[in-house]
Amino acid sequence: MSRIGKRPIPIPAKVSVDIQGTHLSVKGPKGSLARHLPEKVVVAQEGETITVTRQDESRAARERHGLVRTLVANMVDGVAQGFERRLEIQGVGYRAQAQGNKLTLNVGYSKPVEMTMPAGIEVKVENNTQVIVSGIDKELLGNTAAKIRAVRPPEPYKGKGIRYQGEYVRRKAGKTGKK
């Protein structure tokens, strides 16, 4: 039995859940999310909790049990509280600027890199080097943060680039001079 899959998901106040077959929609104070769930897994609401069970003991059902529970829990947490990822920009002259749903990155290229954020994702910049990406869909948020980081990933010699807050970058020793 899946340790993650068998845990019930508590539904916070002000969050409503609508389950119709394999379609799940969750509404809360931050917004609403909807998702089609895979076959072989049954999602049921029992009072103030949601439980995820398998239809049978097939390999497909066992594989999806914990996944579906985590997806549903992330949907409930997202509409109740929201998620955020913080990125740091390190390097001389490297900076970011946010205007509406556009993020402009000056990270050592000849021209600034402009990125348009998808619907449901907000971006803020603090001190020109701290980028805060927030939203209710954890999957979309993670993908957007990864795309921002991919513009200039941290390099191992000087540590310059865009990294997640708290990310450790292993440093390498550079070339030594001839003696």
Residue at 2 is within a domain = no
Boundary residue ending a domain (48, 80, 112): 80
Q: Per-residue pLDDT tens for 137-172?
A: 999 999 999 999 999 999 899 889 999 998 888 888
Q: Per-residue pLDDT tens for 16-66?
A: 999 888 899 999 999 899 999 988 898 888 889 999 888 888 898 888 898
Statement to judge: residues 75 and 91 lie in one domain: no
Q: With the CA atoms of 85, 91, 94 and 95 taken in that order, what torsion angle do they form, in degrees rounded to the nearest 10?
A: 40
Q: Model-level pTM?
A: 0.86
Residue at 170 is within a domain = no
Boundary residue ending a domain (21, 50, 80): 80
Q: With the CA atoms of 94, 98, 102 and 106 taken in that order, what torsion angle do they form, in degrees rounded to the nearest 10?
A: -10
**Domain span including residue 92:** 83-164
